[in-house]
Amino acid sequence: MGKQTLIDIAAAMVAPGRGILAADESTSTIGKRLASINTESSEANRRAYRELLFTAAGLEQYISGVILYDETIRQATTAATPFAELLASKGILPGIKVDTGAHELAGFAGETVTEGLDGLRERLHEYVELGARFAKWRAVIHIDKAAGRPTAGAVEVNAHALARYAALCQEVGIVPIVEPEVLMDGSHDLATCEAATAKTLTSLFAQLRAQRVALEGIVLKPNMVVSGKTCPEQASVDEVAQATVRVFRRLVPVAVPGIAFLSGGQSPQMATAHLQAMNDLGPLPWEMTFSYGRALQETALAAWHGQPDRVADGQQALLLRARLNSAARSGTYGVAMESGPG
Ligand code: 13P
């Protein structure tokens, strides 16, 4: 598969004004989301919820790609159009989560390694047949300053796995979203998150180079540099933007076409404000956009509440957040827009 194909897909994923919707929650994670609105996590309800998201009229104006889960890429609309086909017909690239989750790393208490490499080549071939143009793999890095986490060992095994995954994706013509997530969990300060993020990115790009991954054909999906969730002193929006852009300028080669952030537990409004503040610090050498899960879906889930007669409310809520994040990635978001029409 030609490198140009990868470059073209990656460019489309981070195209100006658009970002990525992460709707690839595993069955267990979507179960928790549905439980939060007192809705049973049946196959029918999971399908109905994803249909609400993907059929929102005009979503393609703000969304370039949607990350699907294995169950979801095999599902279809009420009118029997496969979700991947529906998205493609709207000009939205279908993507697929291919890792099988973070598992305890033997010998490294409190740290994890993401699994899913066995049989991945064959699975990728099947996902291409099902319409996937890009994939996602999430590595999870845990901070605990007192315990010396993240350890160099855990950072390295996760970077190694990400690079192996990325190389396999490129072999079959799928663009890998490379996601090293340094978690917000903990009471650490901004500087500690910055150091852990720097350590993670340093190891990641060394592994990507060593394993011959074409940087022009990936999309990086990192955490922002933020204060730990329970840190008594929370960094301001400007401090977050400056620390995040600083670490990326130092460590992410300009060959990478785009950085699409995860929201990681930030509130929808904070995730948008941070994205705007980072784009204010431009010009930047890469596209800087969003690949949010919770920050795009939280208000939509609440508005829908599992009620068939509230599908349109859920869609309006999704479209509002998509539009605001599109504005933020273009540097035109202002908090006054929060009350605007979807
Ligand atoms: P959040 O934006 O909710 O962190 O989800 C993004 C994602 O894809 C995590 O892997």
**Chain segment 51-65, per-residue pLDDT in tens:** 999 999 999 999 999
Instruction: Judge whether 156 counts as a catalytic residue.
Output: no
Closest CA to ligand 1's atom 8: 22
Q: What pLDDT, on a 0 to 100 scale, did the predictor assign at position 316?
A: 98
Closest CA to ligand 1's atom 4: 264
Pocket of ligand 1 (CB under 6 A): 22, 138, 179, 262-264, 292-295
The whole-angstrom separation of Cα 139 and Cα 227 is: 20
pLDDT over 70, % of the chain: 99
Average pLDDT over every residue of 315-334: 98
The whole-angstrom separation of Cα 335 and Cα 86 is: 33
Please tell me whether the peptide bond between 150 and the residue prior to it is cis, using omega within 30 degrees of 0.
Answer: yes
Query: For 132-179, what is each residue's pLDDT tens digit?
Result: 999 999 999 999 999 999 999 999 999 999 999 999 999 999 999 999
Give residue 22 CA to ligand 1 midpoint distance, Å: 6
Residue 42 has pLDDT above 60, yes or no: yes
- Model confidence at 76, pLDDT cuts 50, 70, 90, reads very high
The whole-angstrom separation of Cα 220 and Cα 180 is: 8
Ligand 1 atom closest to Cα of residue 294? 3
The whole-angstrom separation of Cα 268 and Cα 318 is: 11
- Mean model confidence pLDDT for the chain: 97
Question: Does pTM surpass 0.75?
Answer: yes
- Model confidence at 339, pLDDT cuts 50, 70, 90, reads confident
Q: Read out DSSP for 88-124?
A: HHTT-EEEEE----EEEPTTSTT-EEE---TTHHHHH
Residue 340 has pLDDT above 80, yes or no: no
333 closest CA partner among 276, 262, 270: 276
Residue 1 has pLDDT above 80, yes or no: no
Domain of residue 291: give its range. 3-339
Decide if 184 contacts 222 (C-beta within 8 A): no
Query: For 174-200, what is each residue's pLDDT tens digit?
Result: 999 999 999 999 999 999 999 999 999
Residue 342 has pLDDT above 60, yes or no: no
CATH number for the domain spanning 95: value is 3.20.20.70
Catalytic residue among 179, 181, 287, 298: 179
Give residue 309 CA to ligand 1 midpoint distance, Å: 28
Count structural domains, the chain: 1
Of 137, 262, 270, the one to substitute when testing ligand 1's pocket (max ligand atoms within 8 A of C-beta) is 262
Instruction: Judge whether 229 counts as a catalytic residue.
Output: no
Ligand 1 atom closest to Cα of residue 263? 2
Of 21, 182, 185, 294, the one to substitute when testing ligand 1's pocket (max ligand atoms within 8 A of C-beta) is 294
Give residue 112 CA to ligand 1 midpoint distance, Å: 17
Closest CA to ligand 1's atom 1: 293
Residue 341 has pLDDT above 90, yes or no: no
Number of residues written out for the chain: 342
Q: List own/partner pairs for 27-32 with CB under 8 A and 24 or more apart.
A: 27/69, 27/71, 30/69
Query: For 107-117, what is each residue's pLDDT tens digit?
Result: 999 999 999 99
Give residue 293 CA to ligand 1 midpoint distance, Å: 4
Q: What pLDDT, on a 0 to 100 scale, did the predictor assign at position 239?
A: 98
Give residue 334 CA to ligand 1 midpoint distance, Å: 23
The torsion angles phi and psi of 332, rounded to 5 degrees, stand at -120, 15
- Model confidence at 103, pLDDT cuts 50, 70, 90, reads very high
- Strand 93-97 vs strand 134-141: parallel, antiparallel, or unpaired? parallel
